[in-house]
Amino acid sequence: MADLGSIFKAYDVRGVIPDTFDADVARAIGTAFARVVGGSAVVVAHDMRPSSPELATAFADGVTSQGLDVVFAGLGSTDLLYYGSGHLDLPGAMFTASHNPAEYNGIKMCRAGAAPISGETGLDEIRRLAEESMTGPKASVEGGSPSRRGAPSTGDGGRRVGREHDGPAGTVTERELLPGYAAYLRDLVDLSGIRPLRVAVDAGNGMGGYTVPAVLEQGLPLEIIPLYFELDGTFPNHPANPLDEANLVDLRAKVREVGADIGLAFDGDADRCFVVDERGEPVPPSAITALVAAQELAREPGATIIHNLITSNAVPEIVRERGASPSAPGSVTPSSRPPWPRPARSSAGSTPPTTTSGTSGGPTRVCSRRCTSCGSWARTTVRSPGSPRSTRATRRPGRSTPRWPTHPPRWHGSARPSPAGTASPSTNSTA
Protein backbone atom coordinates (compact mmCIF):
# COMPACT_ATOMS: atom_id res chain seq x y z
CA MET A 1 0.00 0.00 0.00
CA ALA A 2 1.22 3.51 -0.78
CA ASP A 3 2.26 5.59 2.21
CA LEU A 4 -0.64 8.02 2.31
CA GLY A 5 1.09 9.99 5.04
CA SER A 6 3.73 10.99 2.51
CA ILE A 7 1.28 12.32 -0.08
CA PHE A 8 -1.28 14.09 2.13
CA LYS A 9 -0.11 17.65 2.74
CA ALA A 10 -1.76 20.39 4.79
CA TYR A 11 -4.09 21.50 1.97
CA ASP A 12 -3.83 18.97 -0.86
CA VAL A 13 -2.53 15.61 -2.02
CA ARG A 14 0.67 15.26 -4.01
CA GLY A 15 2.94 12.37 -4.87
CA VAL A 16 5.24 10.79 -7.44
CA ILE A 17 3.69 8.66 -10.18
CA PRO A 18 3.52 5.69 -9.71
CA ASP A 19 5.77 5.31 -6.66
CA THR A 20 3.53 6.96 -4.07
CA PHE A 21 0.41 7.87 -6.07
CA ASP A 22 -1.49 5.68 -8.52
CA ALA A 23 -5.02 4.79 -9.62
CA ASP A 24 -5.66 2.55 -6.61
CA VAL A 25 -4.78 5.38 -4.25
CA ALA A 26 -6.92 7.83 -6.24
CA ARG A 27 -9.88 5.43 -6.06
CA ALA A 28 -9.52 5.06 -2.29
CA ILE A 29 -9.32 8.84 -1.87
CA GLY A 30 -12.43 9.26 -4.03
CA THR A 31 -14.30 6.83 -1.81
CA ALA A 32 -13.17 8.67 1.32
CA PHE A 33 -13.90 12.09 -0.17
CA ALA A 34 -17.50 11.09 -0.94
CA ARG A 35 -18.00 9.84 2.61
CA VAL A 36 -16.65 13.05 4.13
CA VAL A 37 -18.40 15.64 1.95
CA GLY A 38 -21.69 13.79 1.48
CA GLY A 39 -24.32 15.40 -0.72
CA SER A 40 -25.56 14.20 -4.09
CA ALA A 41 -22.67 14.79 -6.53
CA VAL A 42 -19.04 15.85 -6.98
CA VAL A 43 -17.46 17.81 -9.85
CA VAL A 44 -14.09 16.52 -11.12
CA ALA A 45 -11.54 18.02 -13.53
CA HIS A 46 -7.93 17.31 -14.46
CA ASP A 47 -4.91 18.91 -16.10
CA MET A 48 -2.79 17.78 -19.07
CA ARG A 49 -0.32 15.51 -17.24
CA PRO A 50 -0.20 12.02 -18.80
CA SER A 51 -1.36 10.39 -15.56
CA SER A 52 -4.24 12.80 -14.87
CA PRO A 53 -7.09 11.19 -16.89
CA GLU A 54 -6.51 7.76 -15.32
CA LEU A 55 -6.29 9.20 -11.81
CA ALA A 56 -9.41 11.35 -12.27
CA THR A 57 -11.37 8.38 -13.62
CA ALA A 58 -10.29 6.19 -10.69
CA PHE A 59 -11.28 8.94 -8.24
CA ALA A 60 -14.69 9.19 -9.92
CA ASP A 61 -15.08 5.41 -9.54
CA GLY A 62 -14.49 5.79 -5.82
CA VAL A 63 -17.04 8.60 -5.56
CA THR A 64 -19.75 6.74 -7.47
CA SER A 65 -19.16 3.62 -5.38
CA GLN A 66 -20.58 5.63 -2.47
CA GLY A 67 -23.80 6.46 -4.32
CA LEU A 68 -22.81 10.02 -5.32
CA ASP A 69 -22.93 11.17 -8.93
CA VAL A 70 -19.95 12.73 -10.69
CA VAL A 71 -20.01 15.75 -12.99
CA PHE A 72 -16.90 15.09 -15.08
CA ALA A 73 -15.53 18.34 -16.51
CA GLY A 74 -12.49 16.75 -18.16
CA LEU A 75 -9.62 19.07 -19.02
CA GLY A 76 -9.54 22.28 -17.01
CA SER A 77 -7.53 24.65 -14.88
CA THR A 78 -7.77 24.71 -11.10
CA ASP A 79 -9.73 27.96 -11.24
CA LEU A 80 -12.14 26.35 -13.70
CA LEU A 81 -12.75 23.57 -11.17
CA TYR A 82 -13.38 26.14 -8.43
CA TYR A 83 -15.79 27.93 -10.76
CA GLY A 84 -17.62 24.65 -11.35
CA SER A 85 -17.81 23.97 -7.61
CA GLY A 86 -19.25 27.43 -6.99
CA HIS A 87 -21.56 27.54 -9.99
CA LEU A 88 -22.97 24.06 -9.41
CA ASP A 89 -22.74 24.29 -5.61
CA LEU A 90 -20.96 20.94 -5.46
CA PRO A 91 -17.80 19.63 -3.79
CA GLY A 92 -14.93 19.35 -6.24
CA ALA A 93 -11.60 17.68 -6.99
CA MET A 94 -8.90 18.88 -9.38
CA PHE A 95 -6.13 16.54 -10.51
CA THR A 96 -2.91 18.51 -10.94
CA ALA A 97 0.53 19.00 -9.47
CA SER A 98 0.52 22.69 -10.37
CA HIS A 99 4.06 23.94 -11.08
CA ASN A 100 5.79 20.78 -9.82
CA PRO A 101 7.87 18.54 -12.13
CA ALA A 102 6.31 16.12 -14.62
CA GLU A 103 6.71 13.03 -12.44
CA TYR A 104 4.33 14.49 -9.82
CA ASN A 105 0.56 14.58 -9.68
CA GLY A 106 -1.95 15.44 -6.99
CA ILE A 107 -5.45 16.49 -5.99
CA LYS A 108 -6.83 19.83 -4.86
CA MET A 109 -10.18 19.30 -3.14
CA CYS A 110 -12.92 21.64 -1.97
CA ARG A 111 -16.39 21.51 -0.50
CA ALA A 112 -19.49 22.91 -2.20
CA GLY A 113 -19.14 26.55 -3.16
CA ALA A 114 -15.35 26.06 -3.53
CA ALA A 115 -14.96 26.18 0.24
CA PRO A 116 -11.41 25.03 1.02
CA ILE A 117 -10.51 21.79 2.77
CA SER A 118 -7.50 21.59 5.08
CA GLY A 119 -6.24 19.02 7.52
CA GLU A 120 -8.41 20.48 10.26
CA THR A 121 -11.56 20.69 8.11
CA GLY A 122 -11.68 17.26 6.53
CA LEU A 123 -8.43 16.35 4.79
CA ASP A 124 -7.10 14.34 7.74
CA GLU A 125 -10.36 12.39 7.88
CA ILE A 126 -10.20 11.75 4.13
CA ARG A 127 -6.72 10.30 4.60
CA ARG A 128 -7.84 8.07 7.47
CA LEU A 129 -10.81 6.70 5.55
CA ALA A 130 -8.74 6.20 2.41
CA GLU A 131 -6.20 4.16 4.36
CA GLU A 132 -9.04 2.07 5.80
CA SER A 133 -10.43 1.56 2.32
CA MET A 134 -7.09 0.26 1.09
CA THR A 135 -6.43 -2.05 4.06
CA GLY A 136 -9.98 -3.42 4.24
CA PRO A 137 -11.26 -3.10 7.84
CA LYS A 138 -14.93 -2.53 8.49
CA ALA A 139 -15.98 1.03 7.94
CA SER A 140 -16.22 3.07 11.09
CA VAL A 141 -16.53 6.60 12.33
CA GLU A 142 -13.79 7.87 14.55
CA GLY A 143 -15.08 8.25 18.10
CA GLY A 144 -18.51 6.78 17.35
CA SER A 145 -20.47 3.94 15.80
CA PRO A 146 -21.01 3.56 12.05
CA SER A 147 -23.76 5.72 10.62
CA ARG A 148 -25.61 6.07 7.35
CA ARG A 149 -23.89 8.12 4.64
CA GLY A 150 -24.20 11.81 5.37
CA ALA A 151 -25.35 11.39 8.96
CA PRO A 152 -23.39 13.40 11.54
CA SER A 153 -20.82 11.40 13.48
CA THR A 154 -20.47 11.73 17.22
CA GLY A 155 -16.72 12.02 17.36
CA ASP A 156 -15.67 14.03 14.34
CA GLY A 157 -16.25 17.61 15.41
CA GLY A 158 -19.65 17.79 13.74
CA ARG A 159 -18.38 16.93 10.25
CA ARG A 160 -20.55 14.63 8.21
CA VAL A 161 -18.81 11.27 7.83
CA GLY A 162 -20.62 8.06 6.85
CA ARG A 163 -19.78 4.43 6.36
CA GLU A 164 -19.22 2.51 3.13
CA HIS A 165 -22.25 2.76 0.85
CA ASP A 166 -24.11 -0.50 0.14
CA GLY A 167 -26.74 0.82 -2.27
CA PRO A 168 -26.77 1.63 -6.00
CA ALA A 169 -23.70 3.29 -7.48
CA GLY A 170 -23.81 6.85 -8.71
CA THR A 171 -23.50 7.89 -12.34
CA VAL A 172 -20.94 9.93 -14.28
CA THR A 173 -22.08 12.79 -16.52
CA GLU A 174 -19.71 14.80 -18.69
CA ARG A 175 -20.18 18.57 -18.68
CA GLU A 176 -18.34 21.37 -20.48
CA LEU A 177 -17.49 24.19 -18.06
CA LEU A 178 -15.04 26.27 -20.12
CA PRO A 179 -17.56 28.61 -21.84
CA GLY A 180 -19.27 29.48 -18.55
CA TYR A 181 -15.93 29.93 -16.80
CA ALA A 182 -14.66 32.27 -19.52
CA ALA A 183 -17.87 34.32 -19.44
CA TYR A 184 -17.66 34.55 -15.64
CA LEU A 185 -14.11 35.93 -15.78
CA ARG A 186 -14.94 38.50 -18.47
CA ASP A 187 -17.89 39.66 -16.39
CA LEU A 188 -15.62 40.48 -13.44
CA VAL A 189 -14.30 43.65 -15.09
CA ASP A 190 -15.65 46.36 -17.38
CA LEU A 191 -14.19 45.58 -20.81
CA SER A 192 -16.10 48.25 -22.71
CA GLY A 193 -13.16 50.65 -22.79
CA ILE A 194 -10.36 48.20 -23.45
CA ARG A 195 -7.91 49.32 -26.14
CA PRO A 196 -6.22 47.05 -28.68
CA LEU A 197 -3.27 45.28 -27.11
CA ARG A 198 -0.60 42.84 -28.23
CA VAL A 199 -0.25 40.23 -25.48
CA ALA A 200 2.48 37.59 -25.35
CA VAL A 201 1.43 34.57 -23.29
CA ASP A 202 3.68 31.73 -22.14
CA ALA A 203 1.50 28.81 -21.08
CA GLY A 204 4.50 26.57 -20.41
CA ASN A 205 2.63 23.66 -22.09
CA GLY A 206 0.20 23.86 -19.18
CA MET A 207 -3.52 24.52 -18.87
CA GLY A 208 -3.15 28.18 -19.82
CA GLY A 209 -2.96 26.93 -23.40
CA TYR A 210 -6.51 25.65 -22.95
CA THR A 211 -8.12 28.49 -20.97
CA VAL A 212 -6.40 31.62 -22.36
CA PRO A 213 -7.90 31.39 -25.87
CA ALA A 214 -11.39 31.00 -24.43
CA VAL A 215 -10.99 33.91 -22.01
CA LEU A 216 -8.91 36.45 -23.97
CA GLU A 217 -9.66 35.78 -27.64
CA GLN A 218 -13.44 35.93 -27.64
CA GLY A 219 -14.65 39.35 -28.79
CA LEU A 220 -11.76 41.31 -27.27
CA PRO A 221 -9.36 43.59 -29.21
CA LEU A 222 -6.36 41.53 -28.13
CA GLU A 223 -3.70 40.03 -30.36
CA ILE A 224 -2.44 36.96 -28.52
CA ILE A 225 1.14 35.88 -29.22
CA PRO A 226 1.21 32.27 -27.98
CA LEU A 227 4.22 30.50 -26.53
CA TYR A 228 3.97 26.79 -25.71
CA PHE A 229 0.18 26.50 -25.87
CA GLU A 230 0.41 22.80 -26.79
CA LEU A 231 -0.81 20.76 -23.81
CA ASP A 232 2.10 18.55 -22.78
CA GLY A 233 2.51 17.39 -19.21
CA THR A 234 6.14 16.41 -19.84
CA PHE A 235 6.98 20.15 -20.12
CA PRO A 236 9.37 19.87 -23.08
CA ASN A 237 10.29 23.57 -23.23
CA HIS A 238 10.67 24.64 -19.61
CA PRO A 239 9.02 23.89 -16.26
CA ALA A 240 5.61 25.54 -15.90
CA ASN A 241 6.85 27.41 -12.86
CA PRO A 242 6.94 31.19 -13.34
CA LEU A 243 8.15 31.58 -9.75
CA ASP A 244 11.61 30.84 -11.17
CA GLU A 245 12.75 33.76 -13.33
CA ALA A 246 14.75 31.32 -15.47
CA ASN A 247 11.40 30.17 -16.84
CA LEU A 248 10.53 33.71 -17.95
CA VAL A 249 13.48 34.02 -20.36
CA ASP A 250 11.53 33.01 -23.49
CA LEU A 251 8.58 35.26 -22.64
CA ARG A 252 10.78 38.27 -21.99
CA ALA A 253 12.56 37.74 -25.31
CA LYS A 254 9.28 37.37 -27.19
CA VAL A 255 7.84 40.57 -25.69
CA ARG A 256 10.86 42.51 -26.93
CA GLU A 257 10.88 40.74 -30.31
CA VAL A 258 7.25 41.45 -31.24
CA GLY A 259 6.84 44.73 -29.35
CA ALA A 260 4.14 43.34 -27.09
CA ASP A 261 2.35 45.62 -24.64
CA ILE A 262 2.45 43.00 -21.91
CA GLY A 263 3.56 39.42 -21.26
CA LEU A 264 1.79 36.81 -19.14
CA ALA A 265 3.29 33.57 -17.77
CA PHE A 266 1.09 30.85 -16.28
CA ASP A 267 1.93 27.93 -14.06
CA GLY A 268 0.93 24.35 -14.88
CA ASP A 269 -2.68 24.46 -13.71
CA ALA A 270 -3.13 28.10 -14.77
CA ASP A 271 -4.24 29.36 -11.37
CA ARG A 272 -1.27 31.72 -11.07
CA CYS A 273 -0.08 34.37 -13.51
CA PHE A 274 3.10 36.44 -13.61
CA VAL A 275 3.36 39.68 -15.57
CA VAL A 276 6.14 41.07 -17.79
CA ASP A 277 6.00 44.71 -18.92
CA GLU A 278 6.52 46.10 -22.43
CA ARG A 279 10.29 46.19 -21.89
CA GLY A 280 10.38 42.51 -21.04
CA GLU A 281 10.99 43.18 -17.36
CA PRO A 282 9.11 41.22 -14.68
CA VAL A 283 6.56 43.28 -12.77
CA PRO A 284 6.73 42.75 -8.97
CA PRO A 285 3.68 40.82 -7.78
CA SER A 286 3.13 43.50 -5.12
CA ALA A 287 2.68 46.10 -7.87
CA ILE A 288 0.03 43.94 -9.54
CA THR A 289 -1.71 43.44 -6.21
CA ALA A 290 -1.77 47.20 -5.59
CA LEU A 291 -3.11 47.93 -9.10
CA VAL A 292 -5.88 45.34 -8.79
CA ALA A 293 -6.74 46.55 -5.30
CA ALA A 294 -7.02 50.17 -6.48
CA GLN A 295 -9.26 49.16 -9.38
CA GLU A 296 -11.54 47.03 -7.23
CA LEU A 297 -11.84 49.75 -4.60
CA ALA A 298 -12.88 52.21 -7.28
CA ARG A 299 -15.69 49.81 -8.13
CA GLU A 300 -16.54 48.81 -4.55
CA PRO A 301 -15.47 51.58 -2.14
CA GLY A 302 -14.75 50.32 1.34
CA ALA A 303 -14.34 46.67 0.34
CA THR A 304 -11.89 44.51 2.28
CA ILE A 305 -8.73 43.63 0.35
CA ILE A 306 -7.19 40.30 1.36
CA HIS A 307 -3.55 40.23 0.35
CA ASN A 308 -0.55 37.96 0.75
CA LEU A 309 1.52 38.29 3.91
CA ILE A 310 4.75 38.81 1.96
CA THR A 311 3.57 41.68 -0.24
CA SER A 312 5.20 45.10 -0.06
CA ASN A 313 4.08 47.51 2.65
CA ALA A 314 2.86 49.67 -0.22
CA VAL A 315 -0.13 47.38 -0.70
CA PRO A 316 -1.82 47.97 2.68
CA GLU A 317 -0.78 51.64 2.50
CA ILE A 318 -2.54 52.08 -0.84
CA VAL A 319 -5.61 50.27 0.45
CA ARG A 320 -5.80 52.49 3.54
CA GLU A 321 -5.27 55.64 1.47
CA ARG A 322 -8.44 54.71 -0.39
CA GLY A 323 -10.43 54.39 2.80
CA ALA A 324 -10.56 50.59 2.82
CA SER A 325 -9.28 47.84 5.10
CA PRO A 326 -6.36 45.59 4.15
CA SER A 327 -6.28 42.10 5.60
CA ALA A 328 -3.21 39.86 5.65
CA PRO A 329 -3.86 36.46 7.21
CA GLY A 330 -0.95 34.68 8.90
CA SER A 331 -0.28 33.10 5.52
CA VAL A 332 -2.26 33.07 2.32
CA THR A 333 -3.52 29.51 2.12
CA PRO A 334 -6.71 27.87 0.91
CA SER A 335 -8.09 28.24 4.44
CA SER A 336 -7.89 32.05 4.14
CA ARG A 337 -9.50 32.18 0.71
CA PRO A 338 -13.17 33.21 0.74
CA PRO A 339 -15.51 30.60 -0.77
CA TRP A 340 -16.40 31.07 -4.43
CA PRO A 341 -19.65 33.04 -4.78
CA ARG A 342 -22.63 30.70 -4.80
CA PRO A 343 -25.19 31.03 -7.62
CA ALA A 344 -27.70 32.86 -5.41
CA ARG A 345 -25.23 35.71 -4.95
CA SER A 346 -24.15 36.12 -8.56
CA SER A 347 -27.00 38.43 -9.55
CA ALA A 348 -27.10 40.41 -6.34
CA GLY A 349 -25.10 43.43 -5.35
CA SER A 350 -23.48 41.74 -2.39
CA THR A 351 -20.13 40.11 -3.11
CA PRO A 352 -17.51 38.49 -0.89
CA PRO A 353 -14.37 40.38 0.12
CA THR A 354 -12.15 41.23 -2.83
CA THR A 355 -9.18 38.89 -2.87
CA THR A 356 -5.84 39.80 -4.42
CA SER A 357 -2.52 38.09 -4.07
CA GLY A 358 1.13 38.57 -4.87
CA THR A 359 3.48 35.64 -5.14
CA SER A 360 2.27 32.64 -3.19
CA GLY A 361 3.36 29.07 -2.71
CA GLY A 362 6.44 27.30 -4.01
CA PRO A 363 9.89 26.73 -2.56
CA THR A 364 11.15 30.26 -3.30
CA ARG A 365 9.27 33.57 -3.29
CA VAL A 366 10.54 36.90 -4.51
CA CYS A 367 9.02 40.33 -3.97
CA SER A 368 10.01 43.95 -3.40
CA ARG A 369 9.40 45.50 0.02
CA ARG A 370 10.17 48.60 1.99
CA CYS A 371 11.94 48.25 5.33
CA THR A 372 9.79 49.58 8.15
CA SER A 373 12.87 50.86 10.01
CA CYS A 374 14.95 52.69 7.41
CA GLY A 375 12.53 53.09 4.52
CA SER A 376 14.85 51.50 1.96
CA TRP A 377 13.47 49.18 -0.68
CA ALA A 378 14.85 45.69 -0.91
CA ARG A 379 14.29 42.67 -3.09
CA THR A 380 13.78 39.79 -0.69
CA THR A 381 13.82 36.09 -1.42
CA VAL A 382 11.84 33.98 1.05
CA ARG A 383 13.16 30.45 0.98
CA SER A 384 12.13 27.13 2.46
CA PRO A 385 12.49 26.73 6.24
CA GLY A 386 16.11 26.34 7.30
CA SER A 387 17.62 27.93 4.20
CA PRO A 388 19.52 31.23 4.50
CA ARG A 389 17.73 34.54 4.11
CA SER A 390 18.71 36.69 1.18
CA THR A 391 18.19 40.43 0.83
CA ARG A 392 19.46 42.58 -2.03
CA ALA A 393 19.21 46.34 -1.81
CA THR A 394 18.02 48.42 -4.74
CA ARG A 395 18.59 52.04 -5.63
CA ARG A 396 16.34 54.64 -4.07
CA PRO A 397 15.33 57.64 -6.17
CA GLY A 398 18.04 60.29 -6.14
CA ARG A 399 20.78 57.96 -4.96
CA SER A 400 23.72 56.99 -7.17
CA THR A 401 24.51 53.82 -5.19
CA PRO A 402 22.35 51.25 -3.47
CA ARG A 403 21.71 51.79 0.20
CA TRP A 404 21.83 48.77 2.43
CA PRO A 405 19.75 48.82 5.59
CA THR A 406 21.92 49.92 8.53
CA HIS A 407 20.10 47.77 11.07
CA PRO A 408 20.78 44.04 11.57
CA PRO A 409 19.35 41.70 8.92
CA ARG A 410 15.63 41.16 9.33
CA TRP A 411 12.57 40.21 7.35
CA HIS A 412 11.71 43.30 5.35
CA GLY A 413 8.17 44.52 5.29
CA SER A 414 6.53 41.78 7.34
CA ALA A 415 7.04 39.13 9.96
CA ARG A 416 8.79 35.90 9.01
CA PRO A 417 6.30 33.83 6.99
CA SER A 418 4.89 30.65 8.47
CA PRO A 419 6.88 27.56 7.45
CA ALA A 420 3.61 26.07 6.22
CA GLY A 421 3.54 28.65 3.44
CA THR A 422 6.78 27.57 1.78
CA ALA A 423 7.44 24.17 0.41
CA SER A 424 9.33 21.88 -1.90
CA PRO A 425 7.38 19.50 -4.15
CA SER A 426 7.40 16.94 -1.34
CA THR A 427 5.84 19.30 1.20
CA ASN A 428 2.82 21.55 1.26
CA SER A 429 2.22 24.27 -1.31
CA THR A 430 -0.86 26.37 -1.91
CA ALA A 431 -0.21 26.58 -5.61
The predicted-structure confidence for 151-173, as pLDDT tens digits, reads as follows 333 233 333 455 577 789 999 99
Phi-psi region of 180 (alpha: psi -120 to 50; beta: other; left: phi over 0): alpha
pLDDT band at 399 (very low <50, low <70, confident <90, very high): very low
Q: Are residues 164 and 21 in the same domain?
A: yes
pLDDT surpasses 50 at 235: yes
pLDDT band at 246 (very low <50, low <70, confident <90, very high): very high
Q: Are residues 204 and 320 in the same domain?
A: no
So what's the pLDDT on residue 88?
A: 98
> How many Cα atoms occupy the beta-carbon half-sphere of 127 within 13 Å?
22
Asked, for residue 427, whether it belongs to a domain, the answer is: no
So what's the pLDDT on residue 309?
A: 83
Asked, for residue 366, whether it belongs to a domain, the answer is: yes
Three-state DSSP class for 315? helix
Asked, for residue 196, whether it belongs to a domain, the answer is: yes
Asked, for residue 183, whether it belongs to a domain, the answer is: no
So what's the pLDDT on residue 424?
A: 36
pLDDT band at 339 (very low <50, low <70, confident <90, very high): low
So what's the pLDDT on residue 431?
A: 43
Q: How many CB atoms lie within 10 A of CB 386?
A: 6
Peptide bond into 385 cis (omega under 30): no
Q: What is the pLDDT of residues 275-315, one digit of tens each?
A: 999 999 999 999 999 999 999 999 899 999 998 888 899 99
Q: Are residues 123 and 47 in the same domain?
A: yes
In the chain the first and final C-alpha atoms are separated, in Å, by 27
Asked, for residue 193, whether it belongs to a domain, the answer is: yes
Q: Are residues 22 and 119 in the same domain?
A: yes
- Sorted by sequence, the CB contacts under 8 Å of residue 299 that are 6+ apart come out as none
- Average pLDDT value over all residues in the chain: 77
Domain end residue (candidates: 220, 249, 276): 276
Q: Are residues 159 and 47 in the same domain?
A: yes
Kindly report whether the global pTM for this prediction surpasses the value 0.75.
no
Q: Are residues 82 and 138 in the same domain?
A: yes
Bigger pLDDT: 413 vs 118: 118
Domain end residue (candidates: 257, 276, 295): 276
- Sorted by sequence, the CB contacts under 8 Å of residue 9 that are 6+ apart come out as 423, 427, 428, 429
Eight-state DSSP code of residue 241: -
Q: What percent of the chain has pLDDT over 70?
A: 69
Q: Are residues 235 and 102 in the same domain?
A: no
Q: Are residues 290 and 241 in the same domain?
A: no
Q: Are residues 98 and 151 in the same domain?
A: yes
Interatomic CA distance for residues 144 and 216, integer angstroms:
52
pLDDT surpasses 80 at 80: yes
So what's the pLDDT on residue 310?
A: 83
Q: What ranges make up the beta strands (E) of 222-330? A: 222-227, 262-266, 273-276, 304-306, 325-327
| Number of structural domains found in the chain | 3
Pairing of strands 115-116, 41-46: unpaired
Q: What is the pLDDT of residues 14-51, one digit of tens each?
A: 999 999 999 999 999 999 999 999 999 999 999 999 99
Interior angle at CA 354, CA 348 and CA 358, nearest 5: 155
pLDDT surpasses 70 at 142: no
Q: Are residues 25 and 142 in the same domain?
A: yes
Structural contact between residues 332 and 360, judged by C-beta atoms closer than 8 angstroms: yes
Asked, for residue 184, whether it belongs to a domain, the answer is: no
CATH code of the domain covering residue 215: 3.40.120.10
So what's the pLDDT on residue 165?
A: 78
The secondary structure of the chain in percent helix, strand, coil, rounded to multiples of 5, reads 30, 20, 50
Three-state DSSP class for 162? coil
So what's the pLDDT on residue 328?
A: 82
Asked, for residue 150, whether it belongs to a domain, the answer is: yes
Q: Are residues 302 and 397 in the same domain?
A: yes
Radius of gyration of the chain (CA): 22
Structural contact between residues 80 and 107, judged by C-beta atoms closer than 8 angstroms: no
Interatomic CA distance for residues 314 and 312, integer angstroms:
5
- Taking residues 326-348, report their average pLDDT: 50
The b-or-e profile of 145-174 (16+ CB within 10 A means b, else e) is eebebbeebeebeeebbbbbbeeeebebee
Instruction: Report the range of poorest mean pLDDT among 27-31, 314-318, 337-341.
Output: 337-341
Helices (H), 71-226: 78-88, 123-135, 178-186, 208-216
Asked, for residue 104, whether it belongs to a domain, the answer is: yes
Catalytic residues, which ones? 98
So what's the pLDDT on residue 330?
A: 53
So what's the pLDDT on residue 218?
A: 86
Structural contact between residues 239 and 204, judged by C-beta atoms closer than 8 angstroms: yes
Most confident of 103-117, 185-199, 287-301, 315-329: 103-117
So what's the pLDDT on residue 24?
A: 96
So what's the pLDDT on residue 162?
A: 53
Domain end residue (candidates: 178, 202, 233): 178
Q: Are residues 197 and 246 in the same domain?
A: yes
Bigger pLDDT: 343 vs 171: 171
Domain that holds residue 225: 189-276
Bigger pLDDT: 106 vs 141: 106
